Amino acid sequence: MESQVRGGTRWKRFAVVMVPSVAAAAAVGVGLAQGALAASFSVSGQEFKVTAGHLHGEGFAQYGGIDTGYTSTDGKNKTTRAVAISSFRTAEITKMCQSVKTEIPLIGKTIYLRLDAGPDADHKVEAENLYIDVAQLDADATFKNINIGVAVKDQSKGPAIKEGENVLPGGFAQEADSADLYGVKQTAWATTAGTFKLSGLKMRLGTDPKMECY
């Protein structure tokens, strides 16, 4: 069975897959022993934007969760945020862009960090055991053999729930053999992966607002 979803969505509406995002750092391609993943971490007070021309993912699952993180860049106060956690056993992405906006009071400027990777079909972004904590997504999506409404603890098509994740084991989830997303625009709080390979990576810093992905 295939199911297609078009248009925009927010985290409360789990009937659409969320595209994986790039972590806001240049240290990518980290492989952990036997694909094991570390426990959840405190997220920063900044969400980041991601766009992609096409994402193809195998072994997909999605469910609701809670991120604990800081309310701002000073690292003093913490809060909790509801997110849609999307996971893939493997994923390939083309024409991916990530940007994050940071206010720097010390110099009185706004700085933008932008990463571009996976420029074409021969140079894709590749990931294994990928988990993404998403706030919002716009995309056209197609799923193969999708199950909607399974319990989180019983989903079997995507990766297992990672250690330390704040989820309800009996809560709502969906899963699919594969997913294809086109024309992706997304905001996210965090990304974790067993391995993450970025072909054609380009990183830039600047003050021009046009550096944001959208």
CA 24 to CA 105: how far, in whole Å?
20
Under 8 Å between Cβ of 164 and 42 = no
- Which candidate, 199, 164, 206, places its Cα nearest to that of 28? 199
Alpha-carbon dihedral sign for residues 18, 19, 23, 24: negative
- How confident is the model at residue 36, as a pLDDT? 33
For residue 200, give the amino acid letter: G
Beta strands in 95-124 (DSSP E): 96-104, 109-117
Alpha-carbon distance 181 to 14, whole Å?
A: 15
- Which pLDDT belongs to residue 18? 37
Kindly give the parts of the chain with pLDDT less than 70: 1-42
- State residue 3's pLDDT score: 53
Q: Which residues pair with 62 in a beta bridge?
A: 86, 174
pTM: 0.78
Tokens of 31: 């492989």
